[in-house]
Structure 1
Amino acid sequence: MLNKSIKFFIENKLVAFLLLALLLGWGIATAPFNWDTGFVPRDPVAVDAIPDIGENQQIVFTQWQGRSPQDIEDQISYPLTSALLGIPGVKTIRSSSMFGFSSIYIIFEEDIEFYWSRSRILEKLNSLPSGLLPDGVNPTLGPDATGLGQIYWYTLEGRDAAGNVTGGWDLQELRSIQDYYVKYGLASAGGVSEVASIGGYVQEYQIDVNPELLKQYNISLDVLVKAVKSSNEDVGAQTLEINKAEYLVRGLGYIKSIADIENAVITAQEYTSIRVKDVANVSLGPAPRRGILDKEGAEVVGGVVVARYGANPMEVITNVKAKIQEISGGLPSKTLADGRKSQLTIVPFYDRTQLIQETLGTLDEALTMEILITILVIVVMIFNLRASVLISGLLPVAVLMVFVAMKLFEVDANIVALSGIAIAIGTMVDVGVILTENMIRHLDEEAAKPSKLPFNNIIYNATAEVSGAIVTAVLTTIISFIPVFTMVGAEGKLFRPLAFTKTAA
């Protein structure tokens, strides 16, 4: 079968060249390098700096403000963990109870599909029995991302026309811009699972109650809270038809200023309304927080962009940068007291692009050096420049074919997977040297004979003579990597890509 295939391609060179051109085009389309040919559509292999060896897990996050870790453990973490144990495919469940919130880590078996596990968790959360959790407590499922999903960090900073930091923005202003403009803009970029805000102060209305006044008016704290909640709503009514035109009737009551809260009526005594401002002081202030974002010793406001599971990190970062360029024009600016203009700017301080480019550069450098060394060694050994160029030219073709296989089998390009290609280059060179040297020997022997065979027959005989031995040698190498494919857990995720690319090459 092998010899028949060799003979077919020798006799049908056009088919061989067309197949080679097809593989080259397909390989260029799937290569993780930033190649813009202009005529080949790009569908590159997902590329990252390091392999994701984390467990197949989902996170359920639950907030219960102001409660101690023990209360969180007893009333949220334990009941939720017990209820989630019945989900199919669950390997183990871990929980962490801290002040004000609970995190439950659900570890699934490795063969469980990522989004299937999320749907099972959502089904379970929606069918929790009433009374299992305290009133008003709603568990939420974490973003559809892995531990390596944090691909881009940035801060919001005021800068002048020369790019120098100017300051002039308070932390509450920056956090509001981050939460209500930048966050939503970047969340719409392709492949983004979540944009998490960090640092600054979240602005809120704060009501400081005077207990003496509450006691004087005989008003309980619950009545005050209920009055404030009731004052922040719109009321719908019927419609009125006047002169063949229909008008909507509704009561407007949403809070838009401090005065709206101050004038909210709590109760009435002796035909006199008792309002919130009569028993409390209303102001704008920062919400309580548990951490800050520090950059070079200064507190800043920023965000973390998390890539969706299965997305190409390099492509997601490109989409995020394009979206930053798009929304930057809408960021506000202000004139400072010293007359300088401070333009709010999105400044990255962690960008995985550099790590990914260095990973690709490792393969690029290794491939370039090995091609040059191959040309030099073959010229020295067999004194044939054409043979050395032929063998060296096969290396890029083989690498492109590996990228095609990686795309088909959904193997990400990372430093470990690309190392497998670099390791296999030595084997590919050995095979090329054996074939080429045998062809040259047969051509030299045939040249000394008075009656010469056709050129195609000489090449076929030379190739068929060593094809069996070459296949046996390559199969021996492939078989030696079979145990690597059987690895499970973190070890399997780390080394299986290397074994795959080495075998495919």
Structure 2
Amino acid sequence: MKTSQSSAQSDSAALLGLSGRIAKRFLTDRITPLIALALLLLGLFAVLVTPKEEEPQINVTMANVLIPFPGATVNDVEQMVSVPAEQVLSQIHGVEHVMSVSQAGLSVITVQFEVGVPRTEALVRLYDVVNANQDWLPMGLGTLPPVVKPKGIDDVPIVAFTLTSSRTENQALHLEHWAHQIESDLKRVAGTREVRTIGAAGRTIRVQVDPRRMAARGFTLSEVYGVLSTANAGSPVGELLSGEQSVAVQTGPFIQNRADVENLVVGIRQAEPVYLRDLAQVTDGPEQLAQSVWSAQKTGYQAGVLQPAVTIAVTKKPGENAVVVAQKLLAQMDSLKANRLPKDISVSVSRNYGHTADQKAKQLIQKLLFATASVVALVYLALGRREALIVGAAVVLTLAATMFASWAYGFTINRVSLFALIFSIGILVDDAIVVVENIHRHRHLHPNKTLLELIPGAVDEVGGPTILATFTVIAALLPMAFVSGLMGPYMSPIPINASMGMLLSLAIAFVVTPWMSAKWMRFDSQAHGASGPDDHQVKGLSAKLLPLLQTIFKPFLDEQKGRFARWMLSFGVAAAIALSVLLPVTGLVVLKMLPFDNKSEFQVMVDMPEGTRIEKTQAVLRALSDRLMKDPNVTDVQLYAGTAAPINFNGLVRQYYFRQQPHLGDIQVNLLEKSDRKLQSHQIAAGLREDLVAIGKPFGANVKVVEVPPGPPVLAPIVAEIYGPTEQGRLALASQVREALQQTAHVVDIDDSLVAAGPKHFLVIDRRKVNLMGVSQATIVQTLRAGLSGFEASHLRDGSKYPVPVQIRLPELNQQSLKDLLSLTVRTSTREAVAIGQFVSVVDAQREQTRYRKDLLPMSFVTADVSGGSDSPLYGLFGSRAQVADLKGADGKPIDEYFISQPTDPYKGYAIKWDGEWQVTYETFRDMGAAYAVGLVLIYLLVVAHFGSYLMPLVIMAPIPLTIIGVMPGHALLGAQFTATSMIGMIALAGIIVRNSILLVDFIRLQTDAGMPFKQAVVLSAATRAQPIVLTALAAMLGALFILDDPIFNGLAISLLFGILVSTLLTLVVIPLLYFVLFKPKGA
């Protein structure tokens, strides 16, 4: 008898497939609970060690190559420096774009590497090429050596402190001194990378020479410079040997303070020494105003009043936990305030990305827990308490394993990776639900078997379809990991984490879930009653649905009228798909790259006409800040004039760190916490824009409200790149395009590369005169530059952390007069001091326009944004095309428009290349479309391999088009924009919904193979598989429900919610009917 039972068990095991054998192997093995425990511990380890940050770290490396060319015109800089430099730098492997900006005396070439090129590798290539090709700049040309300044995501500060003081005298220097003092204290915090003070006044010894006093004593500026430059000559000169002891000898002294500078002897006149104080006023204080920072807060000292300030910006090292580093920095600053900083200095935190990252992480982890609990509650209602406990444990183990896999892959804990887990909850639970539900069903079907006997068979019955369904979801998701551009790595945690989670959930469903079912499920045959094969496996929900489904299927399976009914159903489904597709075409569903996020900050950028003094720029900023501080949602503002605010990722890409001129300003606006305000940041910024633009208009200021983009940033939402054969023609066309955009509804913040021309005096040196009188042209140029711009002749040796320069220049009052400037003297060959005015003639002109080039082509550009209406730059761009189409170039010919790449022949005429968000949108949707197509092909191949039929995959994949019936109307119903995350949801649906088809088709095949009539198997498939299909659908919808309120990912949630709802309901009817039509046996 025992031999007979053993033989039966052996035969049963032999009949099991892979999944059944795995379940049987681990069902009673003592290693199984240890595996579960190990997964939990690995997940806990991952949560503790994985760095946290708000956004994914995108490996995008940029570098600016600065090549000074003193005295050169813009045309010389472009043709002699920028053009050859571009040709050299564009040969570097991995470079995506090479752009140059040529201005008088300076060329700035920006090299942007492809996303994903490692920073170190990129910079090594760049330095190698720059060093190997310096012969493109001849020695005698007059250019200075190239300076390479790399930039990357790690150059974005995570914390910024703003310091103000209640002192009234020497406030600027006082703040600068203490900011510099505590820089090293902040740098000691583990994980910090760079600590930099912004807005420091800069202590300077200013030697303000009086042209009249110098002329009266017969001295020149060059002689004053010579005295200052040699005043610090001193060094060790050797050692005296005196017996057995040597004595060191050193010369000196050095200049250490203002008095030392004042008492320098410039020369002898009438047998009397002439001191520097006799020729100039020497001051020790802040350098001439060129930059400033002001701050105002609604709370604290002098609430609402603008105060002079400095900002200390701190970046973190790559891979460090932003939350931990920020917390340590705040703790260190608290200690410094208590023990080191003077009591008159107040410190406010004007940026804390660690705090926002921590808030977002906690909020999303909370949602993750709620989503898990909701799915468990769903299983409890459908299957029972013990089954819910098993599914819940399987989900927790899967999440723990996925967190560890995500850490091992190199992902951080950020908003996208956490959203990936929340989104995945609904599909990660599918394997566990299908297995547990089938064990639950078999428990009732086979009351005479023990759990240990029936579990392997129950797992095996759904094992094949579950494996196939898991890999179809992975096939749909994983190709999205290969999306190019900035959007690829930004969204990559979704396909990669979800795919890893699906594989892990499959393994757990076959290894741990059967073991937990055997331990925790209670077998109670009395409660459910005995049942056998004659029940046709119809119990519970299936039994309740069967009469309804029989009624629904009856007209479609009828011999006489069934064909017509099926044709009508097909027509109705096709019409619904067509109408859904038309929704974006008609504008009822708006297309956009990404919706606006709800941030706690935005910026106001101010561009004044070139040549505007910093005092006027400050006046505009103050007027704007007054309006901003009246808004109840604003907590504080920082004003930056002549210097850039601490950059964010948007500022990194747009190169805001170059905004260092006196005519440029920036206001950093901080808002209340999201929980403390009703409006989102986009609504606040949009509501303020009109008032701010109106305030700036009387000053001649171009005011732009810049929000933190929700995803990868671009130069501007709308960019029109202007190409053509001549500079004047490009600038003229840029002006026309600007006017066209101004006439387009909802287009705002319009700007262009044409700088408002400012006046310029061109001093023409008479070479004949200077040669006759023995004066060098270089001496005249250096004297004029020293008088007007200042010249650092030396530095104090007083032990300061930052060297204090000794600077020669004219007094500020004299800098306003060309006459005073030209009264400066130079020494002739006869030792006579002659005024420079005798050697030069003045020609009035206009400042030269900066010239731009991109990828070896000259260009100009126009930028704009969209506010109101659809809020989508795509609609603003295409809305302006009616006006743009009528434009003509300088040659009188119609212009060409390009949307994907630059014009191939820019010399045949004028053209516009549309860029900005459109380019990112095109590339992202192009790549996602390709990923979608690859996913469909992979799903087809997987189904062919499993079923051995070329026709069967068409049946199983039929629900994929049905998803659009839910997706597009869902967006229209909720008034949501169809974004990149919506597309991700559609792609995921392809894999999710195919699982249902596989379960239905596999059941029909099993039942018909067992001898059940074909029609009955078709109807029974929908009834029997309805419970796992509805359960998994509801689980996925519950996971999506918890991301519906997020501004960025609500498109993904809407796609999943409505796509799954509609396609699941249709799948239960359409798939069995399609199988019936295509695979109906003859005579059935």
TM-fit CA distance, 1:480? 0.9
TM-fit CA distance, 1:463? 1.7
Question: For the residues of structure 1 that align with 2:140 and 2:488, how far apart are their CA atoms?
Answer: 39
Show CA shifts across 1:328-372 (max 9, x none): 455342xxxxxxxx3434321211133212321332222222233
Question: For the residues of structure 2 that align with 1:480 and 1:399, how far apart are their CA atoms?
Answer: 20
What does residue 313 of structure 1 align with?
Answer: 322
Aligned counterpart in structure 2 of residue 22 of structure 1, from 19, 38, 51: 38
Question: For the residues of structure 1 that align with 2:226 and 2:83, how far apart are their CA atoms?
Answer: 31
User: Which letter does structure 2 place at the counterpart of 1:59?
Assistant: N
Equivalences for residues 426-437 of structure 1 within 5 A: 426-437=426-437
What does residue 117 of structure 2 align with?
Answer: 112
What does residue 466 of structure 1 align with?
Answer: 462
Equivalences for residues 163-202 of structure 1 within 5 A: 170-178=171-179, 180-202=180-202
TM-fit CA distance, 1:140? 4.0
What does residue 350 of structure 2 align with?
Answer: 349
8 Å Cα contact 1:255/1:261 also seen in 2:
yes
What does residue 300 of structure 1 align with?
Answer: 309
What does residue 985 of structure 2 align with?
Answer: none
Residue 301 of structure 1: SS of its match in structure 2?
A: strand
8 Å Cα contact 2:164/2:308 also seen in 1:
no
Residue 304 of structure 1: SS of its match in structure 2?
A: strand
What does residue 162 of structure 2 align with?
Answer: 155
8 Å Cα contact 2:214/2:220 also seen in 1:
yes
Residue 112 of structure 1: SS of its match in structure 2?
A: coil
Going from structure 1 to structure 2, the CA distance change for 1:421 and 1:287 (only over 3 Å counts) comes to same
8 Å Cα contact 1:194/1:305 also seen in 2:
yes
What does residue 12 of structure 1 align with?
Answer: 29
Residue 300 of structure 1: SS of its match in structure 2?
A: strand
Residue 389 of structure 1: SS of its match in structure 2?
A: helix
8 Å Cα contact 2:66/2:106 also seen in 1:
yes
TM-fit CA distance, 1:138? 5.5
TM-fit CA distance, 1:149? 2.0
Larger Rg: 2
User: Which letter does structure 1 place at the counterpart of 2:345?
Assistant: L
Going from structure 1 to structure 2, the CA distance change for 1:111 and 1:147 (only over 3 Å counts) comes to closer
TM-fit CA distance, 1:421? 1.0
TM-fit CA distance, 1:258? 0.6
| Structure showing the higher helix proportion among its residues | 2
Going from structure 1 to structure 2, the CA distance change for 1:343 and 1:131 (only over 3 Å counts) comes to farther
User: Which letter does structure 2 place at the counterpart of 1:469?
Assistant: P
- Give ranges in structure 2 of 5+ residues lacking alignment: 1-17, 297-305, 502-1084
TM-fit CA distance, 1:154? 1.0
What does residue 226 of structure 2 align with?
Answer: 226
What does residue 424 of structure 1 align with?
Answer: 424
Question: For the residues of structure 1 that align with 2:289 and 2:280, how far apart are their CA atoms?
Answer: 23
8 Å Cα contact 1:143/1:194 also seen in 2:
no
User: Which letter does structure 1 place at the counterpart of 2:63?
Assistant: Q
Task: Output the TM-score relative to the length of structure 2.
Answer: 0.40
TM-fit CA distance, 1:300? 1.4
Between 431-440 and 243-252, the greater mean CA deviation after superposition: 243-252
TM-fit CA distance, 1:204? 0.5
What does residue 864 of structure 2 align with?
Answer: none
What does residue 282 of structure 1 align with?
Answer: 282
Question: For the residues of structure 1 that align with 2:259 and 2:400, how far apart are their CA atoms?
Answer: 68
Aligned counterpart in structure 2 of residue 121 of structure 1, from 122, 126, 144: 126
Question: For the residues of structure 1 that align with 2:150 and 2:322, how far apart are their CA atoms?
Answer: 16
Equivalences for residues 44-443 of structure 1 within 5 A: 44=50, 46-52=51-57, 55-60=60-65, 81=86, 83-96=88-101, 103-126=108-131, 128-129=134-135, 137=144, 139-142=146-149, 145-146=152-153, 149-158=156-165, 170-178=171-179, 180-242=180-242, 244-268=244-268, 272-296=272-296, 297-325=306-334, 327-328=336-337, 331-333=340-342, 342-382=343-383, 384-443=384-443
8 Å Cα contact 1:77/1:97 also seen in 2:
yes
TM-fit CA distance, 1:269? 5.4
Residue 12 of structure 1: SS of its match in structure 2?
A: coil
TM-fit CA distance, 1:262? 1.6
Question: For the residues of structure 1 that align with 2:214 and 2:404, how far apart are their CA atoms?
Answer: 74
Show CA shifts across 1:186-227 (max 9, x none): 234333332232224111010111223333444332232132
Aligned counterpart in structure 2 of residue 479 of structure 1, from 462, 475, 487: 475
User: Which letter does structure 2 place at the counterpart of 1:360?
Assistant: A
TM-fit CA distance, 1:174? 0.3
8 Å Cα contact 2:159/2:314 also seen in 1:
yes
User: Which letter does structure 1 place at the counterpart of 2:36?
Assistant: L
Question: For the residues of structure 2 that align with 1:48 and 1:408, how far apart are their CA atoms?
Answer: 17
What does residue 1004 of structure 2 align with?
Answer: none
User: Which letter does structure 1 place at the counterpart of 2:49?
Assistant: D
Residue 294 of structure 2: SS of its match in structure 1?
A: strand
TM-fit CA distance, 1:69? 7.5
TM-fit CA distance, 1:237? 1.1
Question: Among the aligned pairs, what percent are the same residue?
Answer: 19
8 Å Cα contact 2:20/2:457 also seen in 1:
no
Higher relative contact order (CA 8 A, sep 6+): 1
TM-fit CA distance, 1:412? 2.8
Question: For the residues of structure 2 that align with 1:75 and 1:362, how far apart are their CA atoms?
Answer: 55
User: Which letter does structure 2 place at the counterpart of 1:175?
Assistant: E
Question: For the residues of structure 2 that align with 1:100 and 1:176, how far apart are their CA atoms?
Answer: 33
Show CA shifts across 1:82-114 (max 9, x none): 554444432222234578876542111234211
TM-fit CA distance, 1:385? 0.9
Residue 232 of structure 2: SS of its match in structure 1?
A: coil
Question: For the residues of structure 1 that align with 2:228 and 2:235, how far apart are their CA atoms?
Answer: 15
Going from structure 1 to structure 2, the CA distance change for 1:168 and 1:471 (only over 3 Å counts) comes to farther
Going from structure 1 to structure 2, the CA distance change for 1:100 and 1:151 (only over 3 Å counts) comes to farther
- Give ranges in structure 1 of 5+ residues lacking alignment: 32-41, 159-164, 334-341
Going from structure 1 to structure 2, the CA distance change for 1:232 and 1:54 (only over 3 Å counts) comes to same
TM-fit CA distance, 1:287? 2.2
Question: For the residues of structure 2 that align with 1:277 and 1:216, how far apart are their CA atoms?
Answer: 14
Show CA shifts across 1:380-400 (max 9, x none): 212x21211221122232222
TM-fit CA distance, 1:60? 3.8
8 Å Cα contact 1:236/1:251 also seen in 2:
yes
What does residue 337 of structure 1 align with?
Answer: none
Question: For the residues of structure 2 that align with 1:443 and 1:435, how far apart are their CA atoms?
Answer: 12
RMSD value over aligned CA atoms? 3.3
Task: Output the TM-score relative to the length of structure 1.
Answer: 0.82
Between 276-285 and 264-273, the greater mean CA deviation after superposition: 264-273
Instruction: State whether structure 2 residue 488 is matched by structure 1 residue 492.
Output: yes
Question: For the residues of structure 1 that align with 2:104 and 2:38, how far apart are their CA atoms?
Answer: 60
User: Which letter does structure 2 place at the counterpart of 1:435?
Assistant: V
TM-fit CA distance, 1:139? 4.8
